[in-house]
Amino acid sequence: MRPVARRYMKEFLPAMAAYVVVLMLSVWALRHVEATALRVLLALAPAIPVAAAARAIVRFVRGSDELDRRILLEAFALAALVLTMGAFSLGLLVMADVVRMRAGAVLVWILPVYCLLYGVFAAIARRRYA
Amino acid sequence: MNNRVRELREARGWSQARLGEALDVSRQTINAIETGKYDPSLPLAFRIAREFDQPIEAIFLFDEDTP
Protein backbone atom coordinates (compact mmCIF):
# COMPACT_ATOMS: atom_id res chain seq x y z
CA MET A 1 0.00 0.00 0.00
CA ARG A 2 1.38 3.43 -0.98
CA PRO A 3 2.06 5.84 1.93
CA VAL A 4 -0.73 8.17 0.77
CA ALA A 5 -3.25 5.29 0.91
CA ARG A 6 -1.95 4.23 4.33
CA ARG A 7 -2.35 7.79 5.63
CA TYR A 8 -5.86 7.91 4.17
CA MET A 9 -6.89 4.73 5.99
CA LYS A 10 -5.38 6.03 9.23
CA GLU A 11 -7.40 9.24 8.94
CA PHE A 12 -10.62 8.05 7.28
CA LEU A 13 -11.45 4.93 9.32
CA PRO A 14 -11.20 6.59 12.79
CA ALA A 15 -13.29 9.52 11.46
CA MET A 16 -16.04 7.15 10.30
CA ALA A 17 -15.88 5.17 13.56
CA ALA A 18 -16.22 8.47 15.46
CA TYR A 19 -19.16 9.36 13.22
CA VAL A 20 -21.05 6.20 14.18
CA VAL A 21 -20.46 6.81 17.89
CA VAL A 22 -21.32 10.54 17.74
CA LEU A 23 -24.44 9.84 15.66
CA MET A 24 -25.75 7.30 18.19
CA LEU A 25 -25.02 9.66 21.10
CA SER A 26 -26.63 12.55 19.23
CA VAL A 27 -29.83 10.61 18.43
CA TRP A 28 -30.06 9.40 22.03
CA ALA A 29 -29.42 12.86 23.53
CA LEU A 30 -31.92 14.61 21.23
CA ARG A 31 -34.71 12.52 22.81
CA HIS A 32 -33.92 14.03 26.22
CA VAL A 33 -33.01 17.65 25.44
CA GLU A 34 -35.51 20.47 24.93
CA ALA A 35 -33.34 23.64 24.78
CA THR A 36 -33.06 24.81 21.16
CA ALA A 37 -29.41 25.90 21.31
CA LEU A 38 -28.35 22.55 22.75
CA ARG A 39 -30.48 20.67 20.20
CA VAL A 40 -28.70 22.57 17.41
CA LEU A 41 -25.31 21.53 18.79
CA LEU A 42 -26.39 17.91 19.26
CA ALA A 43 -27.98 17.69 15.81
CA LEU A 44 -24.87 19.10 14.12
CA ALA A 45 -22.37 17.05 16.16
CA PRO A 46 -22.20 14.13 13.64
CA ALA A 47 -21.11 16.61 10.96
CA ILE A 48 -17.77 17.10 12.79
CA PRO A 49 -16.40 13.57 12.22
CA VAL A 50 -17.86 13.64 8.70
CA ALA A 51 -15.85 16.83 8.06
CA ALA A 52 -12.74 14.99 9.32
CA ALA A 53 -13.49 12.16 6.86
CA ALA A 54 -13.95 14.70 4.06
CA ARG A 55 -10.56 16.23 4.97
CA ALA A 56 -8.99 12.76 4.73
CA ILE A 57 -10.52 12.32 1.26
CA VAL A 58 -9.22 15.71 0.07
CA ARG A 59 -5.73 14.90 1.40
CA PHE A 60 -5.89 11.51 -0.35
CA VAL A 61 -6.84 13.09 -3.68
CA ARG A 62 -4.10 15.73 -3.39
CA GLY A 63 -1.50 13.11 -2.45
CA SER A 64 -2.45 10.66 -5.20
CA ASP A 65 -0.48 10.34 -8.42
CA GLU A 66 -1.77 12.01 -11.56
CA LEU A 67 -3.71 9.02 -12.96
CA ASP A 68 -5.36 8.28 -9.60
CA ARG A 69 -6.25 11.95 -9.23
CA ARG A 70 -7.83 11.96 -12.69
CA ILE A 71 -9.89 8.85 -11.82
CA LEU A 72 -10.98 10.25 -8.44
CA LEU A 73 -11.89 13.69 -9.78
CA GLU A 74 -13.83 12.18 -12.68
CA ALA A 75 -15.72 10.01 -10.20
CA PHE A 76 -16.45 13.05 -7.99
CA ALA A 77 -17.73 15.02 -10.99
CA LEU A 78 -19.95 12.23 -12.34
CA ALA A 79 -21.31 11.47 -8.86
CA ALA A 80 -22.23 15.14 -8.41
CA LEU A 81 -23.88 15.24 -11.83
CA VAL A 82 -25.97 12.10 -11.28
CA LEU A 83 -26.87 13.11 -7.71
CA THR A 84 -28.00 16.60 -8.65
CA MET A 85 -29.96 15.26 -11.63
CA GLY A 86 -31.62 12.74 -9.32
CA ALA A 87 -32.36 15.41 -6.68
CA PHE A 88 -33.76 17.71 -9.36
CA SER A 89 -36.04 14.96 -10.72
CA LEU A 90 -37.17 14.06 -7.20
CA GLY A 91 -37.86 17.75 -6.54
CA LEU A 92 -40.07 17.91 -9.62
CA LEU A 93 -42.05 14.88 -8.42
CA VAL A 94 -42.47 16.39 -4.93
CA MET A 95 -43.55 19.76 -6.38
CA ALA A 96 -46.12 17.95 -8.53
CA ASP A 97 -47.45 16.22 -5.36
CA VAL A 98 -46.73 12.83 -6.93
CA VAL A 99 -44.29 11.93 -4.15
CA ARG A 100 -44.39 13.05 -0.52
CA MET A 101 -41.12 13.18 1.41
CA ARG A 102 -39.73 14.87 4.50
CA ALA A 103 -37.15 17.44 3.44
CA GLY A 104 -34.82 16.44 6.30
CA ALA A 105 -34.84 12.79 5.27
CA VAL A 106 -33.94 13.71 1.70
CA LEU A 107 -31.16 16.11 2.74
CA VAL A 108 -29.58 13.61 5.15
CA TRP A 109 -29.33 11.00 2.37
CA ILE A 110 -27.52 13.32 -0.06
CA LEU A 111 -24.03 12.68 1.35
CA PRO A 112 -24.30 8.86 1.66
CA VAL A 113 -25.75 8.60 -1.87
CA TYR A 114 -22.98 10.87 -3.16
CA CYS A 115 -20.35 8.62 -1.53
CA LEU A 116 -22.01 5.52 -3.01
CA LEU A 117 -22.13 7.03 -6.51
CA TYR A 118 -18.52 8.19 -6.16
CA GLY A 119 -17.47 4.62 -5.30
CA VAL A 120 -19.32 3.18 -8.29
CA PHE A 121 -17.91 5.73 -10.75
CA ALA A 122 -14.38 5.40 -9.33
CA ALA A 123 -14.55 1.61 -9.85
CA ILE A 124 -15.82 2.05 -13.42
CA ALA A 125 -13.14 4.66 -14.24
CA ARG A 126 -10.40 2.48 -12.68
CA ARG A 127 -11.38 -0.46 -14.90
CA ARG A 128 -10.84 1.70 -17.98
CA TYR A 129 -7.15 2.08 -17.12
CA ALA A 130 -6.57 -1.47 -15.81
CA MET B 1 0.83 8.05 -28.24
CA ASN B 2 3.09 4.98 -28.32
CA ASN B 3 5.93 4.50 -25.87
CA ARG B 4 8.87 2.23 -25.09
CA VAL B 5 8.47 2.25 -21.32
CA ARG B 6 7.82 -1.50 -21.02
CA GLU B 7 10.72 -2.36 -23.32
CA LEU B 8 13.13 -0.12 -21.39
CA ARG B 9 11.89 -1.31 -18.01
CA GLU B 10 12.17 -4.99 -18.91
CA ALA B 11 15.64 -4.43 -20.39
CA ARG B 12 16.70 -3.25 -16.92
CA GLY B 13 14.93 -6.14 -15.21
CA TRP B 14 12.72 -3.81 -13.18
CA SER B 15 9.20 -4.62 -12.07
CA GLN B 16 6.36 -2.15 -12.60
CA ALA B 17 6.28 -1.65 -8.84
CA ARG B 18 10.02 -0.84 -8.76
CA LEU B 19 9.64 1.75 -11.53
CA GLY B 20 6.50 3.17 -9.90
CA GLU B 21 8.38 3.57 -6.63
CA ALA B 22 11.24 5.38 -8.37
CA LEU B 23 8.77 7.75 -10.05
CA ASP B 24 6.46 8.09 -7.03
CA VAL B 25 3.44 6.73 -8.90
CA SER B 26 1.44 3.53 -8.43
CA ARG B 27 2.11 0.25 -10.24
CA GLN B 28 -1.31 0.67 -11.88
CA THR B 29 -0.19 4.01 -13.35
CA ILE B 30 2.93 2.41 -14.83
CA ASN B 31 0.77 -0.37 -16.30
CA ALA B 32 -1.69 2.15 -17.80
CA ILE B 33 1.22 4.05 -19.40
CA GLU B 34 2.82 0.89 -20.77
CA THR B 35 -0.43 -0.35 -22.27
CA GLY B 36 -1.11 3.05 -23.84
CA LYS B 37 -4.30 3.57 -21.84
CA TYR B 38 -2.91 6.68 -20.19
CA ASP B 39 -0.57 9.33 -21.56
CA PRO B 40 1.52 10.79 -18.73
CA SER B 41 1.76 14.51 -18.06
CA LEU B 42 4.80 16.31 -19.41
CA PRO B 43 6.54 16.45 -15.98
CA LEU B 44 6.02 12.69 -15.46
CA ALA B 45 7.20 11.95 -19.01
CA PHE B 46 10.39 13.91 -18.27
CA ARG B 47 10.88 12.00 -15.00
CA ILE B 48 10.48 8.71 -16.90
CA ALA B 49 13.04 9.87 -19.48
CA ARG B 50 15.47 10.85 -16.74
CA GLU B 51 14.97 7.50 -15.00
CA PHE B 52 15.94 5.66 -18.21
CA ASP B 53 18.61 8.22 -19.07
CA GLN B 54 17.15 8.76 -22.53
CA PRO B 55 15.74 11.80 -24.35
CA ILE B 56 11.97 12.06 -24.00
CA GLU B 57 11.38 11.69 -27.75
CA ALA B 58 13.23 8.36 -27.71
CA ILE B 59 10.66 6.97 -25.27
CA PHE B 60 7.39 8.62 -26.27
CA LEU B 61 6.53 8.34 -29.93
CA PHE B 62 3.82 10.50 -31.38
CA ASP B 63 1.26 8.50 -33.33
CA GLU B 64 -0.15 10.47 -36.27
CA ASP B 65 -3.37 8.42 -36.10
CA THR B 66 -4.04 9.43 -32.49
CA PRO B 67 -6.98 11.86 -32.41
Mean pLDDT of A77-96: 96
The CATH number that applies at residue B33 is 1.10.260.40
| Residue B45 covered by a domain | yes
Instruction: Identify the pLDDT of residue B66.
Output: 62
Are A65 and B25 within 8 A, CB to CB?
yes
Give the C-alpha separation, A33 to A29, whole Å.
6
Are A67 and B28 within 8 A, CB to CB?
yes
In chain B, the number of structural domains is: 1
By residue range, what is the domain housing residue B37? 2-53
Q: Is A5 exposed, middle or buried (CB count within 10 Å of its CB: 0-12, 13-18, 19+)? A: middle
Are A67 and B26 within 8 A, CB to CB?
yes
Min Cα separation B36/chain A (Å): 9
Q: Is A14 exposed, middle or buried (CB count within 10 Å of its CB: 0-12, 13-18, 19+)? A: middle
Report whether pLDDT(A96) > 80.
yes
pTM of the predicted model, to two decimals? 0.83
**Averaged confidence pLDDT in chain A:** 94
User: How many Cα atoms are found within 13 Å in the side-chain-facing hemisphere of A84?
Assistant: 6
| Residue B32 covered by a domain | yes
Instruction: Identify the pLDDT of residue A130.
Output: 86
Mutate to test the interface with A, among B26, B27, B33, B46 (most CBs of A within 10 A): B26
| Residue B64 covered by a domain | no
pLDDT band at A127 (very low <50, low <70, confident <90, very high): very high
Min Cα separation A126/chain B (Å): 9
Q: What is the ipTM of this complex?
A: 0.87
Tens-place pLDDT, residues B35-55:
999 999 999 999 999 999 999
CB A39 within 8 A of CB A30: yes
List B61's β-bridge partners, or say none.
B2
Instruction: Identify the pLDDT of residue A116.
Output: 95
| Residue B66 covered by a domain | no
| Residue B65 covered by a domain | no
